[in-house]
Amino acid sequence: MKAVILAGGRGTRLSEETHLKPKPLVEAHGKPLIWHIMKNYSNHGINEFIVLAGYKGHMLKEYFANFWLNDADVTFDLSEPKLDVHSKRGEAWKVTVIDSGLETLTGGRLGFLRGLVSDTFLLTYGDGVSNVDVKKLIDFHKRSASLATLTAVQPPARFGALNLVDNIVNGFEEKPVGDGGWVNGGYFVLEPRVLDYIKSDKDSFESDILPGIAREGQLKAFKHDGFWQPVDTIRDLERLTLALEAGELTW
Provide the residue ranges of all domains of the chain, joining segments of one domain with +: 2-154+180-245
pLDDT at 167: 67
- For the cut 90, the answer to whether the pLDDT of residue 155 exceeds it is no
pLDDT at 180: 65
- For the cut 90, the answer to whether the pLDDT of residue 15 exceeds it is yes
Reported pTM: 0.91
Residue 11 phi, psi (nearest 5): 60, 45
d(CA 148, CA 171): 42
pLDDT at 81: 87
Question: Once rounded to an integer, what is the mean pLDDT over residues 123-140?
Answer: 98
pLDDT at 172: 73
d(CA 248, CA 131): 9
Percent helix, strand, coil in the chain (nearest 5)? 35, 30, 35
Rama region for 68: left / alpha / beta (φ>0; ψ in -120 to 50; rest): alpha
Calculate the average pLDDT of the chain: 93
Q: Which fold has domain 2-154+180-245?
A: Spore Coat Polysaccharide Biosynthesis Protein SpsA; Chain A (3.90.550)
pLDDT at 181: 81
pLDDT at 171: 74
